[in-house]
Amino acid sequence: MKTNNLSLTDRIIVPLDVPNIKAAIALIDQLPQITFWKVGLELFVSTGSEILTVLKNRDKRIFLDLKFHDIPNTVAGACRQAAGYGVDLLTIHATAGSAALKAAKLAVQEGAEASGVAPPKLIAITLLTSLSSRDLAFDLKIPLELPEYALQMALLAKNAGLDGAVCSPQEVEQLRQTCGEDLLLVCPGVRPSWAEAGDQRRSLTPAQAFKAGADYLVIGRPITTAKDPSAAWERICQEVAT
């Protein structure tokens, strides 16, 4: 894996799942010890690149989680522009298909080079962690078992030259064994043992997810909605350190 030089706490990404720039800055300032923040659809639609500038001015790492999913030409154009922001991770749905994934990978290299920044790691979404095996079978009509489907999406991304995949903690061990050590695995839906699962169907604790082979964990509501977010962060750090 490519994260061996980082501490476990530097491998925990906290989502800025707030509606506006004021709320985002308040949360960032409340948790100065967080080094890696995720910017998703809600905040990016609200603020555009302004929030990315705020984070970079504070020397934070950025996971731009926009989950692009479109035809190859459109995906490539979006990735080319996003790469110019100088973010660290960028997401695309694996179900966009091999041609779109390959176009996106080339585009982030072009966009980063044009802007004079390092290209982001391009990470494929295998299956949203809010979806269950039943959802896969009955709603999406996909005849594969959920772990097999997630693995196939990760292999599709790897074969297209992408840097990593997003998967639930419950699939990470199989993906690590099959896809090898070089594929970055990012796990959302991670919940400490003392936190509510919420809408996450396929979860593990932070310590379990790291042990299974995750490179990065995305942990949001157990921290950001806690009565004392700083105390919740410290509790998670203690949990993964033991």
Tens digits of residue pLDDT in 104-162? 999 999 999 999 999 999 999 999 988 999 999 999 999 999 999 999 999 999 999 99
pLDDT value of residue 130 = 86
CA 47, 50, 52, 55 torsion: positive or negative?
A: negative
Half-sphere exposure of 171 (CA within 13 A, CB side): 32
Residue 92 vs residues 15, 55, 68, 100, 173: alpha-carbon distances, Å = 17, 22, 4, 9, 22
Q: Which residue has the tokens 């699962």?
A: 197
Contact, 68 vs 124, CB < 8 A? no
pLDDT value of residue 200 = 44
Angle of helix 98-115 relative to helix 72-83, nearest 10 degrees? Answer: 30
pLDDT value of residue 201 = 52
Domain boundaries, the chain: 9-241
Q: Which helix (H) or strand (E) holds 52?
A: helix 50-57
pLDDT value of residue 4 = 67
36 strand-pairing partners: 61
Q: Provide CB contacts within 8 A for 70, sequence distance 6+.
A: 78, 96, 100
Q: Output the pTM of the full model.
A: 0.94
pLDDT value of residue 6 = 82
Residue ranges of the chain with per-residue pLDDT less than 50: 1, 199-200
Half-sphere exposure of 223 (CA within 13 A, CB side): 26
pLDDT value of residue 239 = 87
| Annotation says 67 is catalytic | yes
pLDDT value of residue 68 = 98
The CATH number of the domain covering residues in 9-241: 3.20.20.70
pLDDT value of residue 27 = 96
List 67, 105, 121, 158, catalytic entry = 67
pLDDT value of residue 202 = 53
118 strand-pairing partners: none
